[in-house]
């Protein structure tokens, strides 16, 4: 997944996609919430304003950090909203954009700073100046390049970021007894693979080349994923022996270990180590950690992505998307978007393990989050503003055009909160990481109200 998406040469986000076509939008492969409606980014901006207010309205040291910023649309909508609250806008020291793709960094710079704005390079990353409040923007390839300081208040946005991080897949198998005598001094096998009685062990599902002359039929590609695409170049193969990942990752959490008892042989699990690293980093920046002590936790992280919200572990969720259709994730590597369901419970577990100074809220359905944040009221305001823009006679062509625009705005917002099967409002979830407050306050959108 990492190679296919962000390899230096030929990665989906780093140069492989055809000239004149990008990944986002109707002409690309998929449409994200910020591209569907400006209201999404506006409400995310409002959420951070509400957190800034609830945490004491710090007058300086605020940092805006977005990981995986796409074309910059979400940050642009957030900044446009935040500047309506001058006290918070003036408290922002810098904006950080964590982006691996050189092409997307340029697209973000053009939107947030202007096409004529220069971009300079330093040891930290790339620098320019935002068109809003002349704020400095720094682009880095990894969040580790962003300094951690105890006095900073980081507000971190992660929208459709965790789903693109590489996963490992494992299956639980029954292993017959293999060790009947004491191992010899020259036996280099792992002790955990040599047993005197049948055991359940995890085996990794590895990516391997498909056999020569393979077809969709011989590979059992689902019909919905085989239209207009060549047979997959790769497939998943169950390892016959333990790997270093299978010996450690499925044993790293009680949620995974419980599958041995609750499900038994055949149990599947997908684990994303990178997701745990990022969640731990967010938590450390907000709540402090032994490596980075923070006397007074501050800041917040808002994560919006798709995956189970009931605590279950994702399985068989690796997918490929091309031109708004599901395709095999193993066909046309580098030209296909790859993603997998986000394990929100694993994010919460990693965050709370990394810092005693944070707490986690959610996940809640995106529809619930956006409705509590006021999506209907905001859409009504936009609709009235569109219709009140000048006095026109009923039946006028321009009046009809306005009505069409209002209808489009309402349809777009309805798509974000659609609770039907596969609807964005149901499939997508919101998770928040906040400073530990011993249950005195819940954040807005997660059962709490705005704290003035």
Q: What is the mean pLDDT of the chain?
A: 88
Residues paired with residue 269 on neighbouring β-strands, in sequence order: 170
Q: Is the pLDDT of residue 431 over 90?
A: yes
**Rounded to an integer, what distance in angstroms lies between the CA atom of residue 367 and that of residue 381?**
19
| Residues whose CB falls within 8 Å of the CB of residue 95, separated by 6 or more in sequence, listed in order | 63, 64, 65, 66, 75, 79, 112, 130, 135, 136, 137, 138
CB 69 within 8 A of CB 61: no
CB 384 within 8 A of CB 402: no
Give the per-residue pLDDT at 31.
78
Q: Is the pLDDT of residue 13 over 50?
A: yes
Give the per-residue pLDDT at 181.
41
Strands 92-98 and 136-140, by their bridges, are parallel
Region class of 365: left (phi > 0), else alpha (psi between -120 and 50), else beta: beta
| Residues whose CB falls within 8 Å of the CB of residue 329, separated by 6 or more in sequence, listed in order | 318, 319, 320, 336, 338
Give the per-residue pLDDT at 400.
74
Give the per-residue pLDDT at 291.
95
Q: Is the pLDDT of residue 268 over 50?
A: yes
| Per-residue b or e along 233-244, where b marks 16 or more CB atoms closer than 10 Å to that residue's CB | ebbeeebeebee
Class of domain 31-165+274-307+342-369+424-435: alpha beta
∠ CA 439-442-447, nearest 5°, is 130
**Rounded to an integer, what distance in angstroms lies between the CA atom of residue 359 and that of residue 443?**
11
CB 367 within 8 A of CB 33: no
| Residues whose CB falls within 8 Å of the CB of residue 86, separated by 6 or more in sequence, listed in order | none
pLDDT band at 393 (very low <50, low <70, confident <90, very high): very low
HEC string of 99-153? CCCHHHHHHHHHHHHCCCCCCEECCCCEEEECCCCCCEEEEECCHHHCCCCCCCE
> Among residues 283, 248, 263, 93, which one has the least CA distance to residue 173?
263
pLDDT band at 179 (very low <50, low <70, confident <90, very high): low
Whole-model pTM: value is: 0.90
Give the per-residue pLDDT at 250.
95
**Rounded to an integer, what distance in angstroms lies between the CA atom of residue 158 and that of residue 64?**
11
Residue in this structure with the two tokens 């029954």, named with its chain if needed = 174
Q: Is the pLDDT of residue 394 over 60?
A: no
Read off the tokens for 187: 């036996």
Q: Is the pLDDT of residue 228 over 60?
A: yes
**Rounded to an integer, what distance in angstroms lies between the CA atom of residue 345 and that of residue 366?**
16
Kindly compute the dihedral angle of the four CA atoms of residues 205, 208, 214, 215, in this order, to the nearest 10 degrees: 50
Q: Coil, helix or strand for 274?
A: helix
Q: Is the pLDDT of residue 24 over 90?
A: no
- Which letter does DSSP use for residue 38 in this model? H
Give the per-residue pLDDT at 6.
84
Top pLDDT among 213 and 173 is at 173
**Rounded to an integer, what distance in angstroms lies between the CA atom of residue 137 and that of residue 123?**
15
∠ CA 369-64-297, nearest 5°, is 80
For 214, 232, 319, 369, the CA distances from 217, given in Å and listed in that order, are: 8, 11, 19, 43
Lowest pLDDT segment from 24-33, 325-334, 367-376, 414-423: 24-33
**Rounded to an integer, what distance in angstroms lies between the CA atom of residue 66 and that of residue 64?**
7
> Which tens digit of pLDDT belongs to each residue from 62-97?
999 999 999 999 999 999 999 999 999 999 999 999
- CATH 3.40.50.150 domain residues, the chain: 31-165+274-307+342-369+424-435
Out of 206-220, 317-331, 345-359, 413-427, give the one with best mean pLDDT. Answer: 345-359
Top pLDDT among 7 and 1 is at 1
Out of 18-32, 100-114, 151-165, 433-447, give the one with best mean pLDDT. Answer: 151-165
Top pLDDT among 31 and 61 is at 61
Dihedral pair phi/psi, residue 19, rounded to 5°? -65, 140
| Residues whose CB falls within 8 Å of the CB of residue 161, separated by 6 or more in sequence, listed in order | 67, 68, 278, 303, 305
Q: Is the pLDDT of residue 392 over 60?
A: no
Q: Coil, helix or strand for 211?
A: coil
Give the per-residue pLDDT at 190.
53
> Which tens digit of pLDDT belongs to each residue from 374-386?
999 999 888 888 8
> Which tens digit of pLDDT belongs to each residue from 299-357?
999 999 999 999 999 999 999 888 768 888 998 888 888 999 999 999 999 999 999 99
Give the per-residue pLDDT at 324.
67
Top pLDDT among 372 and 335 is at 372
Residue in this structure with the two tokens 């409606």, named with its chain if needed = 37
Give the per-residue pLDDT at 116.
94
Give the per-residue pLDDT at 84.
95
* Helix (H) / strand (E) containing 300: strand 300-306
**Rounded to an integer, what distance in angstroms lies between the CA atom of residue 304 and that of residue 365?**
9
For 20, 23, 107, the CA distances from 103, given in Å and listed in that order, are: 12, 11, 6
Q: Is the pLDDT of residue 449 over 50?
A: yes
pLDDT band at 28 (very low <50, low <70, confident <90, very high): low
End-to-end CA separation in angstroms for the chain: 44
CB 304 within 8 A of CB 280: no
Top pLDDT among 192 and 322 is at 322
Estimate the crossing angle of helix 38-54 against helix 375-387, to 10 degrees: 130
Share of the chain above pLDDT 70, in %: 89
Q: Is the pLDDT of residue 144 over 90?
A: yes
Dihedral pair phi/psi, residue 208, rounded to 5°? -135, 155
């Amino acid at each position: 997944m990492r190679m296919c998406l962000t390899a230096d040469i030929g990665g989906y986000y780093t140069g492989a996609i055809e000239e004149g076509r990008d990944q986002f939008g109707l002409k690309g492969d998929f449409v994200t919430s910020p591209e569907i409606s400006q209201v999404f980014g506006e409400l995310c901006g409002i959420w951070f304003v509400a957190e800034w207010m609830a945490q004491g309205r710090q007058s300086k040291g605020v940092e805006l950090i977005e990981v995986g910023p796409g074309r910059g649309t979400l940050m642009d909508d957030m900044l446009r909203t935040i500047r309506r609250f001058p006290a918070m806008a003036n408290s922002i020291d810098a904006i950080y954009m964590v982006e691996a793709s050189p092409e997307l960094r340029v697209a973000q710079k053009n939107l947030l700073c202007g096409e004529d704005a220069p971009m300079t390079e330093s040891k930290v990353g790339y620098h320019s100046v935002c068109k809003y409040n002349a704020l400095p923007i720094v682009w880095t390839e990894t969040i580790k390049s962003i300094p951690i300081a105890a006095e900073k208040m980081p507000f971190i946005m992660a929208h459709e970021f965790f789903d693109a991080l590489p996963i490992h897949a494992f299956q639980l198998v029954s292993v017959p007894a293999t060790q009947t005598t004491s191992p010899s001094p020259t036996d280099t096998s792992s002790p955990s693979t040599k047993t005197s009685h049948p055991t359940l062990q995890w085996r990794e599902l590895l990516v391997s080349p498909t056999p020569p002359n393979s077809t969709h039929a011989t590979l059992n590609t689902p019909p919905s994923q085989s239209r207009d695409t060549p047979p997959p170049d790769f497939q998943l193969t169950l390892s016959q022996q333990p790997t270093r990942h299978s010996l450690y990752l499925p044993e790293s959490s009680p949620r995974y270990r419980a599958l041995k008892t609750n499900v038994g042989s055949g149990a599947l699990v997908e684990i994303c180590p990178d997701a745990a690293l990022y969640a731990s980093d967010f938590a450390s920046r907000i709540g402090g950690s032994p490596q980075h002590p923070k006397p007074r936790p501050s800041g917040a992280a808002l994560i919006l992505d798709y995956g189970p919200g009931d605590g279950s572990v994702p399985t068989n969720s690796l997918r490929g998307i091309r031109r708004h259709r599901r395709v095999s994730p193993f066909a046309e590597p580098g030209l296909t978007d790859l993603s997998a369901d986000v394990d929100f419970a694993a994010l919460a577990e990693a965050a709370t393990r990394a810092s005693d100074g944070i707490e986690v809220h959610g996940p809640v359905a995106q529809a619930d989050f956006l409705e509590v944040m006021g999506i209907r009221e905001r859409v009504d305001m936009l609709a009235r503003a569109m219709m009140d823009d000048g006095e026109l006679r009923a039946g006028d062509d321009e009046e009809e055009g306005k009505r069409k625009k209002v209808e489009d705005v309402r349809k777009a917002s309805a798509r974000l909160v659609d609770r039907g099967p596969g609807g964005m409002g149901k499939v997508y979830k919101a998770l928040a990481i906040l400073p530990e407050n011993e249950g005195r306050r819940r954040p807005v959108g997660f059962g709490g109200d705005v704290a003035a």
